[in-house]
Amino acid sequence: MARKLPPKDVVIIGLGWTGSILGYELAKAGLDVVAIERGPWRDTATDFPPAYAQDELRYAVRLDLFLRPDQETLTFRNNMSQTALPIRNFVSFLPGNGVGGAGVHWNGQTWRFLPTDFRVRSHLEERYGKEALPSDMTIQDWPLAYDEIEPYYDRFEKLCGTSGKAGNIRGVKQPGGNPFEGWRSSEYPTPPLKQGLGATLFAEAARKTGHLPFPQPASNCSEAYTNPLGLKLGQCTYCGFCERFGCGNYSKASPQTCVLPALLRFPNFSAQTESEVTKINLDSTGKRATGVTYVDASGEEWEQPANIVLVCAYALFNVRLMLLSGIGKPYNGETGQGVVGRNYAYQTTSSVGVILKDKILNPFIATGAHGMIVDDFNGDNFDHAGLGFVGGGYMGMGQTNGRPITTRPVPSGTPKWGAQWKKATAETYNRAMGLSTHASSYSYKDCFLDLDPSYKDRLGRPLMRMTFDFHENELKMSAFLTERLAEIAKALDPVEMTPSPRKGPYTLNLYQTTHNTGGTVMGADPANSVLNRYCQSWDVHNVFVPGGASVFPQNHGYNPTDTVGALAYWTADAIKDRYLRNPGPLG
């Protein structure tokens, strides 16, 4: 029997990026806020100091900071004809865990979506006709425009101290930046990172082949920076232990470096760690949440009453929580009815391996988000007529590491072990680099999330089931993008080049990205969304899902975090300026 705690104004489920941002904004507004995080407290000096943070085996291979599947996992199948089986070990995507969530061990790649992305269906239909979109493609316009969210992108980037070069300030193109990006209200808070030889060579090749490369926007600070909350970030040291690792010297933007020390100063904020929310509780009408139930580290059950419930867990688990709590109509893949779990999408990535002659690339000198990128083939930045697909992505040289357990390319055909392997490994390590494309993943009728009928978690609740495969649209797109990238790569005059476009079926066995989107889509119409434009549940007006990637109607050709952060601020404003004044559906 759950013991009831004194009520709070706000209960936040999960203390990652969105939980921290919402926690800060609402505590600052004077509300009584408690956050409930199922993982442990994590902090720089005790958990990832630059004395042992740089341990590839522990963090990159054994995944020490990540969610353990025995705490929560999903079942997976490519399509509805298969039986979903548990993801017993995370490989393809790696959900985070603990205070800070994936914000602790992300790469820092900080991208805005394009203005056309926000009205993707309308735009594509206008340009190419309705027939251009496959009938089972369920992309939809976002319920807000780029112009509306721009100030919030700006705010999140200033929170992080993102390093970069603007390409478009209030409509005026800026040399050296991304010529395709949406307009920005200001330059990036810190200048771009310095680039190593690999990225520099790529940029030269890209210019040679008629493209306009620019530095990747990076939340690895290029110089020391104090953010608007008064928090101080250090200068990135190009250590090459970024993704999957915590940052040892306060230079990667994370909830720890950007929000939490200021947040925890509020006397009206507290957090419970190692406590897992199992359910959002509803009143007898089912239209109002009364709070949450959670299980603490010793297995005790507690009820935390609150006036507002914010679902700030990782994208996938936001969806599961909504399903388990009975908020919104679950999506049925067979019938196409319902909304919760609908429009699950991922990311379509590919690579071109390149081996150069006589170069010393020092791949171990890297940051998570350095690199030179070309955005010519993202979104609808190029004419898709006759190509047979829609969507696109960025491409470039953003290799994040030279960590030798996993990053030691060899020429194709090299044996996997033995004397030749050893020789090739030694001779190639410093001359090879990986170029990549990072492209959209549009939504489809048969790509969705729902509750598994068989497998359960350690608390006896059904796991969530993921049904997903790449569609022909995405595979054609990947082939095209990879060819374009290969053309640039050729201008590097490589000794060897290995284009590897994404091929189906989607497999769990290969890491791709941890960009899982959709399931609690935000939209203008409750018939095809779970949340309205303020990330408020259509069904339960005091439940918000403030911006995790589960709100994306589809995934575009960029990493999600900038948009996630922006929407968190967007939702915070909606709650402070609208909801608190007049609690109810914001419409």
Partner 1 sequence: MAHITSPALSRRLLLTSATAFVLVGTAVARARTLAGGLPWEPGTATPPTPVRPGPWMFFTSDEAALIEAAVDRLIPADERGPGGKDAGCAVFIDRQLAGPYGRAAGLYMKPPFMPGAATQGYQMPDAPAARYRAGLKALVEYVKATFSGKSFSELVPADQDKVLAGLETGSITLKDVKGAEFLVLLLQNTQEGFFADPIYGGNRDMSGWKLVGFPGARYDYRDWVDRHNEVYPLPPVSIMGRAEWTVKE
Partner 2 sequence: MRRPLATAAFLVGSCSLTFAQDTQSFDRVERGRYLSVLGDCAACHTAPGGQPFGGGLALQTPFGKIVAPNITPDRETGIGNMTDQEFLAALHDGRGHDGTRLYPAMPYPAYTKMTDDDVLAMRAYFATVAPVRNRVISNQLPFPFNVRLSMAFWNVLNFTPGRYHPNPRKSAEWNRGAYIVEGAAHCGTCHTPKTLLGGDKNGQALAGATLQGWFAPNITTDSRKGIGGWSKDDLVQYLKTGANNWTLASGPMAEAVTHSTSQMTDEDISAIATYLKDSGEGGSAHKPEPVAVSDNAMRAGAAIYKDSCAACHRDTGAGEVHLFPRLASSALVQSDDPTTLVRVVLQGTRAVSTKDMPTAPAMPAFDWRLSDTQTAAVLTYIRNSWGNAAGTVSGGAVASERASLGRLP
d(CA 553, CA 50): 39
| Closer Cβ to partner 2, 238 or 421, answer by number | 238
Residue 498's binding partner, choosing from partner 2, partner 1, none, with beta-carbon cut-off 5 to 8 A by kind? none
DSSP helix, strand, coil percent of the chain (3-state; round to 5) = 25, 20, 55
Q: What are the residues binding partner 2 (CB under 8 A)?
A: 43-46, 49-52, 224, 226, 229-235, 237, 239, 248-250, 257, 261-262, 265
Single-letter residue type at 440: S
Q: Does 237 bind partner 1 (CB under 8 A)?
A: yes
Residue 240's binding partner, choosing from partner 2, partner 1, none, with beta-carbon cut-off 5 to 8 A by kind? partner 1
Residue 262's binding partner, choosing from partner 2, partner 1, none, with beta-carbon cut-off 5 to 8 A by kind? partner 2
Asked if 193 contacts 368 with a C-beta cutoff of 8 angstroms, the reply is: no
Residue 402's binding partner, choosing from partner 1, partner 2, none, with beta-carbon cut-off 5 to 8 A by kind? partner 1
Residues 341-360 that bind partner 1 (CB under 8 A): 359-360
Look up 541 and say whether it is catalytic: no
Supply the minimum distance, in Å, between the C-beta of residue 505 and partner 1: 5
| Closer Cβ to partner 1, 328 or 402, answer by number | 402
Interface with partner 1 (CB under 8 A), residue from 115, 165, 303, 364: 364
- What is the token pair recorded at 536? 């408020």
| Closer Cβ to partner 2, 248 or 519, answer by number | 248
d(CA 209, CA 375): 14
Asked if 401 contacts 241 with a C-beta cutoff of 8 angstroms, the reply is: yes
Supply the minimum distance, in Å, between the C-beta of residue 509 and partner 1: 6
Residues 154-213 that bind partner 1 (CB under 8 A): 193-197, 200
Beta bridge partners of 33: 10, 269
Asked if 484 contacts 557 with a C-beta cutoff of 8 angstroms, the reply is: no
Assign 256 to helix, strand or coil: helix
**Binding-residue total with partner 1 (CB under 8 A):** 93
Q: Does 13 bind partner 1 (CB under 8 A)?
A: no
CA separation, residue 126 to residues 140, 258, 545 (Å): 13, 41, 31
d(CA 278, CA 239): 39
Beta bridge partners of 20: none
Asked if 22 contacts 308 with a C-beta cutoff of 8 angstroms, the reply is: no
Residue 405's binding partner, choosing from partner 1, partner 2, none, with beta-carbon cut-off 5 to 8 A by kind? partner 1
Residue 316's binding partner, choosing from partner 2, partner 1, none, with beta-carbon cut-off 5 to 8 A by kind? none
- Of 125-133, 291-299, 333-341, 527-535, the segment contacting partner 1 by CB under 8 A is 291-299
Interface with partner 1 (CB under 8 A), residue from 25, 47, 380, 562: 47
Using alpha carbons only, what angle is made at residue 546 by residues 543 and 548, rounded to the nearest 5 degrees? Answer: 125
Residues 243-272 that bind partner 1 (CB under 8 A): 248-249, 260-261, 264-265, 267, 269-272
Q: Does 274 bind partner 1 (CB under 8 A)?
A: yes
Q: Does 404 bind partner 1 (CB under 8 A)?
A: yes
| Closer Cβ to partner 2, 224 or 580, answer by number | 224
Supply the minimum distance, in Å, between the C-beta of residue 67 and partner 1: 9
Looking from the CA of 264 toward its CB, the CA atoms found within 13 Å total: 12
| Closer Cβ to partner 2, 109 or 227, answer by number | 227
Interface with partner 1 (CB under 8 A), residue from 19, 341, 392, 402: 402
Q: Tell me the DSSP string of 161-227.
A: T-B---SEETTEE-TTS-TTSPPBSS--SBPPPP--HHHHHHHHHHHHTT---EEPPBSB-SS-EE-
Q: Which of 370, 515, 541, 556 is catalytic?
A: 515
Ramachandran category for residue 460: left, alpha or beta (phi over 0 → left; psi -120 to 50 → alpha): left
Supply the minimum distance, in Å, between the C-beta of residue 204 and partner 1: 12
- What letter does residue 67 receive in the DSSP assignment? P
- What is the token pair recorded at 540? 């339960």
Residues 435-494 that bind partner 1 (CB under 8 A): 454-456
CA separation, residue 118 to residues 124, 155, 168, 337 (Å): 11, 19, 18, 24
d(CA 123, CA 93): 31
Pairing assessment for the beta strands 33-36 and 269-272 based on DSSP bridges: parallel
Supply the minimum distance, in Å, between the C-beta of residue 50 and partner 1: 4
Interface with partner 1 (CB under 8 A), residue from 85, 169, 479, 580: 85
Residue 509's binding partner, choosing from partner 2, partner 1, none, with beta-carbon cut-off 5 to 8 A by kind? partner 1
Residue 229's binding partner, choosing from partner 2, partner 1, none, with beta-carbon cut-off 5 to 8 A by kind? partner 2
Residue 535 burial (CB count, 10 A): 30
| Closer Cβ to partner 1, 120 or 205, answer by number | 205
Residue 359's binding partner, choosing from partner 1, partner 2, none, with beta-carbon cut-off 5 to 8 A by kind? partner 1
**Among all residues, which ones are annotated catalytic?**
515
